[in-house]
Amino acid sequence: MARSNKKRRRQSSPQEEVVNQRNQPNPNSDEDEDEADSPTPSATPGENDTPDDERLAHAIRLSENQISAAYASYLAPKLSKQLDKFKRRMIAWECKLCGRSINRPANDRSCSNLLTHAGRCHKKHSAASGNKTLASVGVSGTGDIDPREVLQRCAIWCAERAK
């Protein structure tokens, strides 16, 4: 006869039933409410309970030492009014190019958000200053007309000539 794959259910003794009932939570008990109010280990800041001044001093040292190239694009950091998830003030890094403040949690060791903003800001400012004129392309007698304005100027010229 073939053996069944089903596991047999173990019969519990009366003593085990009493122990199991003790370990199960009682829905009418007040003990669970006290446990719900206590902070969970993942929500506590842990070792980073340093005051705002110390965290700011650390950020200023990072800025002065410029261990990473990310800090070269920013002015000296300041304490921000924005709070992180632990209700502590964040560190604000002000961009040298656009003047925008980038908030960064003080316990965050990654500077990827600073690098990302700096890269975008440099690209935006270099693209704005790199506009070509028609004269630089080889068209003479046009003055300082941006090549992107040519179609608009042609439409205006055609409309004026049609009158």
Q: What is the structure's pLDDT at 22?
A: 53
Mean per-residue pLDDT over the chain, rounded: 72
Phi-psi region of 143 (alpha: psi -120 to 50; beta: other; left: phi over 0): left
Domain segments of the chain: what residues?
52-127
Cα end-to-end distance, the chain, whole Å: 103
More confident residue, 82 or 145: 82
On whether the CB atoms of residues 74 and 63 are closer than 8 A, the answer is yes
Q: What is the structure's pLDDT at 13?
A: 60
- Alpha carbons 94 and 63: distance in angstroms, whole number: 11
Residue 142 token pair:
């046009």
* pLDDT tens column, 95-122: 888 888 888 887 767 778 888 888 888 8
More confident residue, 21 or 133: 133
Q: What is the structure's pLDDT at 46?
A: 47
- Alpha carbons 84 and 79: distance in angstroms, whole number: 12
* pLDDT tens column, 146-162: 777 788 888 998 999 98
Residue 74 sits at φ, ψ, to 5 deg, of -125, 150
